[in-house]
Amino acid sequence: MSSNNIDSALIENRQFPPASEFTDRARIKQADFDRLHQQASDDYVGFWAEQARSMLDWQTPFNDVLDDSKAPHFKWFADGTLNVSYNCLDRHLASKADKTAIIFEGEKGDTRHITYQQLTDEVSQFANALKAKGIEKGDRVVIYMPMIPEAVVAMQACARIGAIHSVVFGGFSAESLRDRINDASAKMLITADGGNRGGKIVELKSACDKAMAGGCPSIEHVIVCQRTQHDIPMQEGRDTWWHDAIKGQSSECAPVWVESEHPLFLLYTSGSTGKPKGIQHASGGYLLGAVMTNLWVFDLQDNDIFWCTADVGWITGHTYVAYGPLAAGGTLLMYEGAPTVPDAGRFWRICETHRVSIFYTAPTAIRALMKLGDDLPNNYDLSSIRLLGTVGEPINPEAWMWYHKVIGREHCPIVDTWWQTETGANMIAPLPGVIATKPGSCTIPLPGIAADVVDENGNSITEANKGGYLVITKPFPSMLRTIWGDDQRYVETYWPKFDGKYYLAGDSARRDADGYFWIMGRIDDVLNVSGHRLGTMEVESALVAHERVAEAAVVGRPDDIKGEAIFAYVVLRGTRPPDGIDEELTKELRNWVGEQIGPIAKPDNIRYADNLPKTRSGKIMRRLLRNIACGEDITSDTSTLENEDILLQLQGKS
């Protein structure tokens, strides 16, 4: 990466300081913020020890705060023990047993309110069911479920007994599910007959059956939650209905105390190779990041209704649905379905009905809803909303301003939160009662988070608006511990530069004259489609697995709604279709990729060529392909191309 390549053109000068009505009642005020920053810079380790002691309940208090003797395999609070589910549930019962923990709304409009007492009972009962099926501390359990409370119950039940869950997003295909089950050697699969989404049934159980038919030798039991109640086959001896599994189980289950470093979960995410990485998080450090950011960034207070729209299949749904709000003793809202059912006012209707006060979603959703005009949100009473959040990709200032004006009615702070699956929790984000926001910037790192922008040599870039690598220069509790089963890939992926001293986030960024961070995009071959990460190699591997495809190259191109769209160049076995067009095959390949990975990975464009442009060393010239996909002038040196005619083909001109 050359540095001029990541210099930025975008300069956005508007500033929005928090209104005093917000600041007056915010958890963190200016003085608190100053004190926290001072503490973190005076005594970094002491700062984190204090947070961990005050925000979490420990069964055995820790003395070792940070162990960096085997860096970059860091340990936090290693001699302490705790239980994550105890911290999310039991510890609130004395004061909040009857408080609503989860408000659920199904796509068809059914609703449920679940109190802390009820949730504790359900989690305990299901944990007992897991134990009855032989699940023990350290066993891996894959969860493939719709957005219903039972998904959270399943996750919390695993945490209660020290089992390691790996949630697979319900939009991933049977193939993807099987790969994840096998990579983790999971003993159990928890699913549902289906979920309601977009007015249709998502056939989760049949995807599980297909995955298992392809070979998942480690799976001993499948538990199936009844949601849609349509007919599905159950395999005798292997499959058990959730309601049968909990029958006769006690609703008391003593939490299993685990070491702070005990893995809480794996979550697979894309990287620069074709194989997703099982990001491994530790119990204590992760939960600390989750609860702290819910309190500080989302200012979660006792009477708030907190709605994070992310699916539990993504890290956002782990930290800001399944764990953080509960650890903070808050009330969260969970919605099963699509934002457009029965119409695109659904989100706003839910906000009105349930008096949502904190709303957290992705720029892609904001842009899609913005396109439909102001009338939809204006039809609803959004006066309960006091704080807005965004995550997943840089938000364009236009969408930010719409969010601010039309949804926030110009009085709600917007927290633009930069973080990753790997960081477990928000890293760079405004504290809403303190920091003035700027449309498109995630502002400044949280207290205790040491983020920097550095050049090729690892030197901090002090010049305003000059782009560089976004790095984290000190270990932090909620960071990933490793990639499941692949310590070497962990080291090579995240610590490859700067003598292994800094965590390399994989994003480029710049800082403006006020020290605000502006994320500029990925530096690796990772696409961001609707806020979801997809490796170009993953899509390429899926394409070449098709019998008619010889070679494929995939790049991203900007898309108004999705952020990035997928553009695939394909070389077929045999001859290129006339004029490079074959609509039948294009349809087939798109569906094929959908089956291999999931619908989000379907290429938006496919262009057929005789060859791919490569350098002499055989590397695909991606920048050139990107230029073409974006309809831009070709800026790369094409002199190494063997066959100049290929350019016309790639451009779709011959």
Name the nearest CA neighbour of 165 among 286, 292, 332, 30. Answer: 286
For residues 86, 52, 147, 122, the Cα torsion angle rounded to the nearest 10 degrees is 0
Minimum CB distance to ligand WT7 smaller for 529 or for 609: 529
Of residues 276, 313, 413, 506, which one binds ligand WT7 by CB under 6 A?
A: 506
Euclidean distance between CA atoms 369 and 365, whole angstroms: 6
Which residues are registered as beta bridge partners of 572? Answer: 549
Of residues 306, 418, 476, 490, which one binds ligand WT7 by CB under 6 A?
A: 418
Euclidean distance between CA atoms 652 and 580, whole angstroms: 7
Residue 316 sits in the site that holds ligand WT7 (CB under 6 A): yes
Q: Find the DSSP H helices in 306-362.
A: 315-317, 324-327, 346-354
Tell me which residues in 249-308 interact with ligand WT7 (CB under 6 A).
Answer: 269
Minimum CB distance to ligand WT7 smaller for 353 or for 420: 420
State the number of binding residues for ligand WT7 (CB under 6 A).
22
Residue 480 sits in the site that holds ligand WT7 (CB under 6 A): no
Of residues 6, 177, 207, 391, which one binds ligand WT7 by CB under 6 A?
A: 391
Q: Which stretch binds ligand WT7 (CB under 6 A): 158-166, 527-535, 571-579, 622-630?
A: 527-535
Q: Which two tokens stand for residue 409?
A: 């009615």
**In which residue are the tokens 């995240």 written?**
494
Residues 6+ apart with CB under 8 A from 255: 83, 85, 86, 90, 160, 161
Are 365 and 402 in contact, with CB atoms under 8 Å apart?
A: no
Of residues 101, 225, 315, 332, which one binds ligand WT7 by CB under 6 A?
A: 315
Minimum CB distance to ligand WT7 smaller for 207 or for 362: 362
Residue 211 sits in the site that holds ligand WT7 (CB under 6 A): no
Residue 507 sits in the site that holds ligand WT7 (CB under 6 A): yes
Are 102 and 112 in contact, with CB atoms under 8 Å apart?
A: yes
Minimum CB distance to ligand WT7 smaller for 162 or for 392: 392
Residue 417 sits in the site that holds ligand WT7 (CB under 6 A): yes
Q: Which two tokens stand for residue 340?
A: 């457009």
Minimum CB distance to ligand WT7 smaller for 248 or for 558: 558
Of residues 88, 505, 542, 549, which one binds ligand WT7 by CB under 6 A?
A: 505
Name the nearest CA neighbour of 479 among 257, 261, 198. Answer: 261
Tell me which residues in 530-589 interact with ligand WT7 (CB under 6 A).
Answer: 531, 533
Residue 442 sits in the site that holds ligand WT7 (CB under 6 A): yes
Euclidean distance between CA atoms 158 and 167, whole angstroms: 11
Tell me which residues in 102-131 interact with ligand WT7 (CB under 6 A).
Answer: none
Residue 394 sits in the site that holds ligand WT7 (CB under 6 A): yes
Residue 8 sits in the site that holds ligand WT7 (CB under 6 A): no
Q: Indicate the DSSP class of residue 192.
A: E
Q: How many Cα atoms within 13 Å fall on the side-chain side of residue 40?
A: 18
β-pairing, 414-416 with 387-390?
parallel
Of residues 175, 179, 416, 582, which one binds ligand WT7 by CB under 6 A?
A: 416
Which single residue brings its beta carbon nearest to ligand WT7? Answer: 421
Euclidean distance between CA atoms 262 and 266, whole angstroms: 12
Minimum CB distance to ligand WT7 smaller for 571 or for 600: 600
**Which residues contact ligand WT7 by CB under 6 A?**
269, 315-316, 391-394, 416-421, 442, 505-507, 519, 522, 528, 531, 533
